[in-house]
Amino acid sequence: MKYKLTREKKEIVTLSRDGTPKIVTLYRIQALKSFGSVKSGDFGGFVARGMHDERGREPNLDHKGLCWIADDAMVYGNARVRNDALVCNTATVRGHAHVTDEAEIGGEADISGHVLVAHSAKVGKQSVLDGVVNVFHDARVFCTKTPKQTQSHASDLVRIGENVTIEGNPRLRGRLHLGGNARISGSIRLSGNARIEGDATLLDAVCVGDDVYIGGHAIVKRNAKMLGHASATGFASIGRNVMVTDHAHVCGGDIEDEFLSGQVFRNS
């Protein structure tokens, strides 16, 4: 064993499967030996289980590897932190979420559902992820939210990988694939089966859905909308009040205040 549960505890209210509230008791952990940057005797964050329980559920924090829960972070439910992963600050990991490899969860992030954060990915600030979201490779998710916001930043079957950076207050829904060096910043709305990759950049209040593809060095910004099977590649710049839909393809040029539909092809 590399840690123990201390007598310091906190009680939180969560919902059971039938929707009724229940109280869960969490215990602060303390290292029993030195490993990584953790010294023997250091206090960590809070967990619900430090060992297998009578139902066979595994501990929230693995006793193997360099993984740790620091500060006032909380991990409970069937959530697990494994390998060399770190959960710190006031982050919460719950549900069936897994944080593994060298991934880090920090800030006020709230990770739940069946979310998987792996490899060297980092999730922080006020990011809220649920559903079956996967964040992996060197992806960075640092979202913010409004005081009364209840919706998550990403849910359903979203995949965020490679060197993707996500900031601002986005809504990511559906079977999205975000890869390459894509950057997403602002009040972006992504849904459907959209695929964003390459060095693509989405800024401001952009709406992208259906089976849209955005790649290359394309930039989509300033209230632009892309729907249907539309695509943007190359050095396309799709800006203010543009609607691109159906099978329209833009691979170059700076476009504003236009409606592109059908089999339109624009490269300048």
pLDDT digits (tens, 9 = 90+) for 67-122: 999 999 999 999 999 999 999 999 999 999 999 999 999 999 999 999 999 999 99
* SS3 (DSSP) at 178: strand
Residue 40: per-residue pLDDT = 97
Quick one: which of 62, 80, 138, 145 has its CA closest to 107? 145
Q: Is-contact 170 126, C-beta < 8 A?
A: no
pTM, whole model, 2 decimals?
A: 0.94
What distance in Å separates the CA atoms of residue 19 and residue 235, rounded to the nearest whole number? 49
Identify the pLDDT of residue 19.
80
The whole-number mean pLDDT for each consecutive block of 10 residues of the chain, a chain of 268 residues, reads: 96 86 95 97 96 83 97 97 98 97 98 97 97 97 88 93 97 97 96 97 96 97 95 95 94 90 75
Q: Which pLDDT score, from 0 to 100, does residue 104 have?
A: 98
**Which domains are delineated in the chain?**
180-268 (2.160.10.10)
What is the per-residue pLDDT for 138? 98
Edge-to-edge strand order for the sheet containing 171-172? 171-172, 189-190, 207-208, 225-226, 243-244, 259-260
Q: What pLDDT was estimated at residue 56? A: 75
Distances (CA, A) of 257 to 39, 95, 212, 221, 237: 60, 45, 19, 12, 12
Query: What is the per-residue pLDDT for 266?
Result: 73
